[in-house]
Chain A
């Protein structure tokens, strides 16, 4: 039964300079197999330079109901977003 092969979450870095992004999950018996499977499943079309696999059970996640206090609403801290600032178009490199 595949329930004996634990669930792994897969993170792929698409190219240098980017973060790893969560792309999905798969089942594998051990870490080596998980990496092999992740390479076959998620980077078949050369979509990654780096793969991380983590046993799903090892991921600690924030609880769904803590949403409001945990994630401060971005609506009242708009100064964190670049679009907040109106800069003339002819200023280069900004």
Chain B
């Protein structure tokens, strides 16, 4: 939480509220009114426990996704085939670490603790976006991830810039502004490759064929299978349904694919004049289920890499803490000595 409340002890929401003479019904009304007016709920505001818990879980999973998402592309920094691409990719992956940090920071304003969230990720109690459980076997995958995965993330994140919880909305604004370069760099790489050698063009088409369906699955199960969505929408921590966002992504991406000269691997993809949208095939939802429940191609690797970094880094973090404590003690000792000498003088 940001700051400690002066004069009031940190007790549960209900106790504080009644101590101050406000009853829960009144507070709940205020909360609902704030949301209805499209205004922000801030860390110090009263909020229903369900709202707090849902937000912590959603923000944490978003943060975990950024951190885990560093891995599939991070692997390619050392092998990027030009210095310019190397720098771009290094900067992009660095941004992802930064995004994870902004989001953990937002979750902490709700009373979560980053170390506990990290444990939850490593122990499999909290999830991250299923898309990062797929492998990146070629450099073209870097381009396609930028185009599809960052594209899908942007579809999801831009509406969240108006979500009801202030710190999350503000984190999203910062993330979106930085992410504008992420999608563009991916697409630009693909443009370059598609104008290049036969080998490069084949690499791009192959990557597109592998990433298209998983990217559609990023938006989650169909609306009918998303029981929690309604409540999140009422609280304005979800602004559009899974299917709405998925449709939006398809409509955006089809013309981009045409410009690129690649085919999207869906024979049912076609413009529907009546609806004003593209019709598309049904993703294999059983695959999404499998990947979410831990059975994707890279689930084990992603989590163990995060665990290894965290565990191997423990001695470093401990050393920093120990040094800080020693410094504080030395400073106190010096102050005490000076005081004594001053008194004696």
Asked whether the complex places CB atoms of A and B closer than 8 A, the reply is yes
Point out residues on A near B: beta carbons under 8 Å: 1-5, 7, 9, 23-27, 29-30, 33, 41, 44-45, 56-57, 59-66
A26 to B102, CA, bound (A): 8
Interface string of B49-82 (1 = CB under 8 A from A): 0000000000000000000000000000000000
Closest to B109 in A: A25
Given A3-B113, A30-B324: A62 and B44 interface contact (C-beta under 8 Å): yes
Which of B2-10, B202-210, B244-252 is the contact stretch? B2-10
Interface string of B179-214 (1 = CB under 8 A from A): 000000000000000000000000000000000000
Min CB gap B56→A, angstroms: 15
**Which residues from chain A contact B113 at a C-beta distance below 8 Å?**
3
Residue contact A24 to B171, C-beta cutoff 8 Å: yes
Residue contact B105 to A65, C-beta cutoff 8 Å: no
Residue contact A2 to B115, C-beta cutoff 8 Å: yes
Point out residues on B near A: beta carbons under 8 Å: 1-8, 16-17, 20, 22, 44-46, 94-95, 98, 101-102, 105-106, 108-109, 113-116, 118, 167, 171, 174, 178, 314, 317-318, 320-321, 323-324, 327
Residue contact B20 to A66, C-beta cutoff 8 Å: yes
Residue contact A30 to B317, C-beta cutoff 8 Å: no
Closest to A64 in B: B44
Of the candidates A1, A9, A30, A45, the one whose C-beta lies within 8 Å of that of B2 is A9
Closest to A22 in B: B2
Given A27-B114, A62-B44: A4 and B6 interface contact (C-beta under 8 Å): no
A36 to B155, CA, bound (A): 33
Residue contact B5 to A30, C-beta cutoff 8 Å: no
A64 to B45, CA, bound (A): 5
| Shortest 5 CB-CB contacts between residues of A and residues of B | A61-B3, A29-B320, A59-B3, A65-B20, A64-B44
Q: Which of A4, A9, A33 has the most CB of B within 10 A?
A: A4
A9 to B101, CA, bound (A): 13
Residue contact A2 to B46, C-beta cutoff 8 Å: no
A64 to B17, CA, bound (A): 9
A4 to B315, CA, bound (A): 12
Of the candidates A30, A41, A45, the one whose C-beta lies within 8 Å of that of B327 is A30
**Which residues from chain A contact B321 at a C-beta distance below 8 Å?**
4-5, 29
A1 to B320, CA, bound (A): 11
A10 to B19, CA, bound (A): 32
Residue contact B114 to A56, C-beta cutoff 8 Å: no
Closest to A9 in B: B2
**Which residues from chain B contact A63 at a C-beta distance below 8 Å?**
5-8, 16, 20, 44
**Which residues from chain B contact A29 at a C-beta distance below 8 Å?**
317, 320-321, 323-324
Residue contact B20 to A2, C-beta cutoff 8 Å: no
Min CB gap B150→A, angstroms: 17
Closest to B27 in A: A65
A41 to B174, CA, bound (A): 11
A32 to B41, CA, bound (A): 32
Residue contact B323 to A41, C-beta cutoff 8 Å: no
A62 to B44, CA, bound (A): 8
Of the candidates B3, B20, B101, B320, the one whose C-beta lies within 8 Å of that of A5 is B320
